[in-house]
């Protein structure tokens, strides 16, 4: 159509208050900001800086899966806290994010929070480490538990300080009421002697947004909870003789709602892009007569450190109403866009559109050589 790829996306993106596919009202929508920042970072105004070199862009949205989470939190006699959750830490840092929320709410240091090992026999239920939900849902459960613990501590402190509860706050590991204060450790000690200790159970479940049930039937996810928005942009070169793709720059702009731990979030984004690059350029299970021919990591070509460029990450914080401190899910979105962004950049560099994954050098070279005959 002769329309710039960025322009056609900007014409069609959703805006705040628009309706989603099942009629849900979309809130905290940031896709325009993500697209514009990705385009600016990659230098979109010069889409073809040299022969065989091109830039591509892609955007998407993704859900923060619901499901319930429960936690137990106990304040220990030394003023530290123990967090018990059924959620499994699979390397994302999500449980650390939940512990950070708990520490913030209880005026403790992160080092004061001990996370118990997961044992489904004794831990509260968690819906599972999937769907970009763990820090979001367990974090909300920690907020609920912390609120209950504050109530318990303030009731004890009110008797010890002879001060009204409505004047109390937690600050620097102390219950503070005006000029009076008592340490959390002392409150915990008193509670153990007279009340069985400071223990709270927090639960959270993210309700599904209202939607139009006439638009779909028998769907397990009729409307997306707390969606996030993101855009990827890539600058790459294609060797005209071999079809080998070299990624010069890769930029991710992702709306995380609120960055609980920016370093861990950037790590998640880098890992997701690495997975997406593998899907885009090399990873493929090859069958012959029903047998897998590349059932090892020598022949199944996952990207290595030499194949993955430095990932430039730009975080957008468009707060959600449901997440802890406005957070949205983070882990899965970075995997989505890389094949599309890379395919669009290959098209810009070569003039032909790859139509299957992976977009191997062999496929690209075949198309390039076919175009010369």
Point out the residues that are catalytic. 332
CB 72 within 8 Å of CB 200 = yes
Nearest Cα neighbor of 362 from 300, 287, 370 is 370
Helices (H), 209-304: 262-281
The kind and range of the H/E element at 100 are helix 94-106
What is the spatial distance between Cα 266 and Cα 285, in angstroms, rounded to a whole number?
A: 29
Radius of gyration from C-alpha coordinates of the chain: 25
Q: What is the DSSP string of 279-292?
A: HHHT----EETTEE
Nearest Cα neighbor of 70 from 89, 94, 86 is 86
CA distances from 170 to 107, 190, 218 (A): 6, 17, 47
Sheet-wide strand order for 168-171:
168-171, 174-177, 180-183
Sign of the C-alpha dihedral, residues 356, 359, 362, 366?
positive
Q: What is the DSSP string of 147-168?
A: HHHHHHHHHHHHHHHT--GGGE
Nearest Cα neighbor of 339 from 284, 275, 286 is 275
What is the spatial distance between Cα 124 and Cα 84, in angstroms, rounded to a whole number?
A: 8
**Residues forming beta bridges with residue 50, ordered by sequence position:** none
Nearest Cα neighbor of 262 from 103, 135, 85, 130 is 135
The kind and range of the H/E element at 315 are strand 311-316
The set of residues, in sequence order, having a beta carbon less than 8 Å from that of 227 and lying 6+ positions away, is 20, 26, 61, 62, 63, 64, 328
CB 46 within 8 Å of CB 52 = no
């Amino acid at each position: 159509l002769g329309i710039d790829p960025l322009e056609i996306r900007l014409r069609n993106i959703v805006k705040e208050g628009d309706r989603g596919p099942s009629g849900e009202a979309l809130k905290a929508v940031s896709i325009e900001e993500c697209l514009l920042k990705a385009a600016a970072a990659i230098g979109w105004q010069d889409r073809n800086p040299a022969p065989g070199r091109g830039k591509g862009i892609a955007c998407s949205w993704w859900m923060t899966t619901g499901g319930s989470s429960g936690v137990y939190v106990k304040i220990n006699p030394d003023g530290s806290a123990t967090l018990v959750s059924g959620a499994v830490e699979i390397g994302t840092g999500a449980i650390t994010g939940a512990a950070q929320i708990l520490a913030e709410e209880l005026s403790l240091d992160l080092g004061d929070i001990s996370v118990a090992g997961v044992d489904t026999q004794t831990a509260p239920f968690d819906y599972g480490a999937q769907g970009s939900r763990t820090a979001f849902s367990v974090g909300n459960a920690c907020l609920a538990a912390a609120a209950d613990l504050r109530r318990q501590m303030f009731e004890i402190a009110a008797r010890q300080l002879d001060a009204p509860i409505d004047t109390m706050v937690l600050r620097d590991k102390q219950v503070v009421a005006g000029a009076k204060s008592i340490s959390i450790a002392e409150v915990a000690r008193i509670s153990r002697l007279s009340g069985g200790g400071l223990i709270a159970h927090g639960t959270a479940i993210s309700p599904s947004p209202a939607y139009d049930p006439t638009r779909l039937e028998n769907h397990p996810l009729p409307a997306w909870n707390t969606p996030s928005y993101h855009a990827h942009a890539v600058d790459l070169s294609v060797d005209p003789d071999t079809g080998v793709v070299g990624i010069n720059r890769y930029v991710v702009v992702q709306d995380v709602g609120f960055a609980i731990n920016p370093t861990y979030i950037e790590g998640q984004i880098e890992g997701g892009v690495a997975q997406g690059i593998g899907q885009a350029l090399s990873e493929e299970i090859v069958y012959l007569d029903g047998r897998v021919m590349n059932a090892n990591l020598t022949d199944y070509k996952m990207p290595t450190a030499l194949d993955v460029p430095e990932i430039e990450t730009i975080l957008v914080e468009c707060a959600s109403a449901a997440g802890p401190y406005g957070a949205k899910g983070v882990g899965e979105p970075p995997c989505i866009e890389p094949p599309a962004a890379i395919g669009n950049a290959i098209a810009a560099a070569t003039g032909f559109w790859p139509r299957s994954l992976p977009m191997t050098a062999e496929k690209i070279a075949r198309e390039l050589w076919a175009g010369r005959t």
